Amino acid sequence: MGYYIWPALLIWAFDRTIRLILLAWNNMIRNSKNIENALVELLSEDTVRLTLRRNISWTPGQHAYVVLPTVSTLPFEAHPFTIASIPNPSGKDGASDVVFIIRGRNGFTRRLQQYASRGNGSSVPALLDGPYGFPPDLRGFSTCVMIAGPCLTSCTFLHSNDLF
């Protein structure tokens, strides 16, 4: 079994090392020398808006891993969320607000929702890993119907002529 376990562990360790380097690059080297805070706001009873200011570029539909060491049970526990904003660099540093809309369910998202309910508009140390993903290019369509839900595993894009 050692012939299969050791190569797998090496690949896993290589992946973790690269991810740690990218995490440091995106948050500490590229943006500043310290961990930047994120703004946590309670939008409704179970919805949280998390806003980070970062010097990264992304396209709509991409996702990123968010690490909130003070909210997580483990210091580098990362959770993927879809970015809910478009890049709009403002200021001389070229940074944009990366916004996530998060629904508090259970586990990490419930703890984040409880944290936001304690002090609305509070800040929390945050790390961002990403963006990842390649969303489809929708510029070729004049109109689109997008259907999303918790149980759907794919999204269908329809051209307006396909509907009639």
Q: Is residue 128 scored above 80 in pLDDT?
A: yes
Domain boundaries, the chain: 2-134
Which amino acid would we find at residue 33?
Answer: K
pTM for this structure?
Answer: 0.70
Q: Quickly state the pLDDT bin for 154 (edges 50, 70, 90).
A: very low
**For 2-134, CATH number?**
2.40.30.10
pLDDT digits (tens, 9 = 90+) for 65-113: 888 887 778 777 888 888 888 777 665 666 778 888 888 788 888 888 8
Q: What is the pLDDT of residue 94?
A: 66
Report the alpha-carbon distance of residue 51 to residue 163 in Å, rounded: 37
pLDDT digits (tens, 9 = 90+) for 112-125: 888 888 876 788 88
Across the range 10-24, mean pLDDT stands at 85
Q: Quickly state the pLDDT bin for 11 (edges 50, 70, 90).
A: very high
Across the range 10-18, mean pLDDT stands at 89
For residues 104, 108, 111, 112, the Cα torsion angle rounded to the nearest 10 degrees is -70
Arithmetic mean of pLDDT over the chain: 76
Across the range 32-58, mean pLDDT stands at 79
